[in-house]
Structure 1
Amino acid sequence: MPENTVIDASKTTFGVGITNGGFYHARTVVQASPHIDWVIIDCEHGLTSLNPGVADQVAAIQAEGKPALVRIPATGVSTGTSWQIKYCLDAGAKGVIVPKVATPEKAAEVAADCRFPPVGRRGFGSPYGHMSWNMSFQDYLAKANDHILCIVQIETKEGMENLEKIAAVDGVDVLLLGPADLSMAYGYSIPNPDPHPEVEKMIQRVKDVAHASGKTWRAFHATLLKISDPGSV
């Protein structure tokens, strides 16, 4: 099984986000450059539907040996994230991004939905996920918990207030910062291209808290880059 190169690789990695649907569109994007290491399918602000769009695009991307991540449309301020996480992972995605996670309770719920028991509450039954990973379902069950990325997006005042508690949740792998929504939440203009100085301070705080908690962090408006030396960025 290819490593989940978003954070597991020993080098800086580069990825792209796609907002339009279609198997061939996804395949064309992932083949566009040998330097693309991963692809985000954006179902929150993009035009790809969960059914059947995600399954088709996950298959196209991972057939090229690259991990597909899915940003689900439901946000952490609503209650309907669980089934969307299940759908994306059952389609074979290597990870999910949940927008607007603002409390440690929601972060713990998301983490549990990403993992099979005994560490989580994800149910098993999909005949497709393991095929996307090119392995038997027995091997998939043995490996999925260690290779699926649980990514929560910090982009609200409440999320910033609960930042340390969210970062401390077991099973959360990445803190993904949404600078545009975070800027608007505090009454600042969105980055164009640079964020307001006060928002830049928040970005640095997310980085510091993530590192202190042993987590990876990313800023969505820039790139989702692997930090080879977490102390240096």
Structure 2
Amino acid sequence: MQTPLNPFKQALEQGRAQIGLWVALASPYSTELIAGVGYDWLLLDGEHAPNDVRSTLTQLQAVASAQQAFGDGRSHPVVRVPLGTGEAGTAIIKQFLDIGAQTLLVPMFDTAEQAAQVAAAARYAPTGVRGMGSALARASRWQAHPQYVHEANDRVCVLVQAETVEAMKNLDAIAATPGVDGVFIGPADLSASMGHPGNAAHPEVQKVIEDGIARILKAGKAPGILATSEPQARKWLAAGARFVAVGADTMLLDSGARALLAKYKDGAGAAGPSSY
């Protein structure tokens, strides 16, 4: 039995844009519902959402259930780990891979050296330093995939986040790092790092993002971004972004609940999360 291919990674390599949704409610029930909608990818957030290895596992199982129910490979799960560098980051990456994540998004990269550490942490020797333990791992289906340790390195997709002024200075080297499949530009953190907190729409920030997407493409890697307004999402898709998250489950729940209440109560629903 062959280790499953990574359709998300294949799509990025082929230059096909992938539309995603942030998943932060940390609920396998809501994640299973969203996984059946038809987004190309879902970001299971372990950085800013209340997720750990166990809750991420239940959501990976929920996504797999939706895929089985619809039978069309719907919604590839991308797992954002809380950190990636150092011994702690290497250990966390190993745990998320062992529970079955194939694609990882890792936050806060400033240098190519940090990116290389994560690329190594996600792969078995001799390419990397991922610890051997497939007999205990859901990823190998507890060795039902007999060639897992030989095939896993090619299936893993590593996405790193560039979201500071320093990262943008080093972006060419980060994107060129072997084993890095894509670079995600974080608009919120980048705008704060540039002195415009809460204002990712600032012209200076927009210019840096546009330049960053072009530089990532030039390196032969896939650029990604979160854009929760349609004009921004379409702008970055047109600029060449290959994986774009166009919203978040928390925002959908909030806006939907406010819109429904506004039909029955005057003045309700006026507040809401800002978008960029």
Aligned to 1:210: 216
Aligned to 1:53: 55
1:145 is matched with which residue: 145, 149, 153? Answer: 153
Instruction: Give the secondary structure class of the aligned counterpart of 2:147.
Output: helix
Tell me if structure 1 keeps the 8 A contact 2:185–2:224.
Answer: yes
Compute the displacement of 1:147 (Å): 1.8
Instruction: Give the secondary structure class of the aligned counterpart of 2:8.
Output: coil
Aligned to 2:250: none
Aligned to 2:248: none
Q: Distance in 2 between matches of 1:169 and 1:40?
A: 23
Tell me if structure 2 keeps the 8 A contact 1:70–1:95.
Answer: yes
Aligned to 2:76: 67
Tell me if structure 2 keeps the 8 A contact 1:12–1:228.
Answer: no
Q: Distance in 1 between matches of 2:208 and 2:167?
A: 11
Give the 3 Å change call, closer, same or farther, for CA 24–174 of structure 1 in structure 2: same
1:36 is matched with which residue: 34, 39, 45? Answer: 39
Alpha-carbon RMSD across the aligned residues, in angstroms, is 2.8
Q: Which moved more, 1:158-167 or 1:101-110?
A: 158-167
Q: Tell me whether 1:5 sits opposite 2:11 in the alignment.
A: no
Aligned length: 223
Give the 3 Å change call, closer, same or farther, for CA 79–123 of structure 1 in structure 2: closer
1:114 is matched with which residue: 99, 104, 122? Answer: 122
**1:33-68 per-position Cα deviation (integer Å, ceiling 9, x unaligned):** 1x2222110011112222x11111112213324421
Q: How does 1:1-233 map to 2 (within 5 A)?
A: 3-9=5-11, 11-31=16-36, 33=37, 35-50=38-53, 52-63=54-65, 64=67, 65=73, 66-74=75-83, 80-125=88-133, 126-131=136-141, 136-191=144-199, 195-222=201-228
Question: What TM-score comes out, normalization by structure 1 length?
Answer: 0.84
Compute the displacement of 1:149 (Å): 0.9
Tell me if structure 1 keeps the 8 A contact 2:22–2:42.
Answer: yes
Aligned to 2:267: none
Aligned to 2:274: none
Where in structure 2 are there 5+ consecutive unaligned residues? 68-72, 243-276
Question: What TM-score comes out, normalization by structure 2 length?
Answer: 0.72
Q: Determine which structure has more spread, i.e. the larger CA radius of gyration.
A: 2
Sequence identity (%): 32
Where in structure 1 are there 5+ consecutive unaligned residues? none
Q: Distance in 1 between matches of 2:60 and 2:155?
A: 16
Q: Distance in 1 between matches of 2:42 and 2:29?
A: 14
Compute the displacement of 1:200 (Å): 1.2
Tell me if structure 1 keeps the 8 A contact 2:119–2:179.
Answer: yes
Structure that is richer in helix per residue: 2
